[in-house]
């Protein structure tokens, strides 16, 4: 018999909130990746749309509001040592209002320059998602007729 624990996928969201050439990061106050810098996000509540969950988590963890620009990617966050498997739906957003203040599951919340974010964030998938968000934003800027 296999003693490997069964990891049940948990639907969750992440949000890359950009303000100019800065990205909003939080320091995680709960597992997985406790104490590491990451993106605001969390579980989708029953009956909640994923995009609404992303904006809610952003407000709860940072006090910031933003406008969603689009979907970046879907990532499997497999953390077998912690018994967790998150299916992370990551969105790109641009800051609308608010000064970051840590709340909910975050112990810190701050906008940091994109180059600094790459140094702070330990998980390669988060670094990849931030880079993909910037590329998506920049494509949108080039195609904007304004």
**Annotated domain spans of the chain:** 9-141
CA distance 90 to 123: 15
Distance CA 56, CA 43 (A): 10
CA dist 136 and 110 (Å) reads 22
pTM exceeds 0.95, yes or no: no
Superfamily of domain 9-141: Nucleoside Triphosphate Pyrophosphohydrolase (3.90.79.10)
Give the whole-angstrom CA distance, residue 45 versus residue 50: 9
Residue 53 confidence (pLDDT) above 80: yes
Active site residue 108: yes
> Is the confidence at residue 2, as pLDDT, over 70?
no
Quick check: 23 pLDDT over 70? yes
Catalytic residue among 22, 36, 108, 125: 108
pLDDT at 44: 98
- Asked if 50 contacts 78 with a C-beta cutoff of 8 angstroms, the reply is no
CA-based Rg of the chain, rounded to a whole angstrom? Answer: 15
Could you report the per-residue pLDDT of 64-123, keeping only the tens digit for each? 999 999 999 999 999 888 889 999 999 999 999 999 999 878 899 999 999 999 999 999
């Amino acid at each position: 018999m296999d003693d490997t624990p069964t990891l049940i996928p948990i639907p969750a969201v992440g949000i890359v909130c950009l303000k100019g050439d800065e990205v909003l990061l939080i320091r995680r106050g709960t597992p997985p990746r406790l104490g590491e810098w990451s993106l605001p996000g969390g579980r989708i509540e029953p009956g909640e749309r994923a995009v609404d969950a992303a904006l809610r988590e952003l407000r709860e963890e940072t006090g910031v509001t933003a406008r969603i620009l689009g979907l970046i990617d879907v990532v499997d966050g497999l953390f077998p040592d912690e018994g967790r498997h998150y299916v992370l739906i990551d969105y790109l957003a641009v800051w609308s209002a608010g000064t970051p203040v840590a709340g909910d599951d975050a112990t810190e919340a701050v906008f940091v320059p994109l180059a600094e974010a790459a140094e702070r964030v330990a998980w390669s998938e988060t670094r990849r998602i931030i880079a993909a968000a910037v590329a998506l934003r920049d494509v949108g800027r080039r195609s904007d007729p304004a």
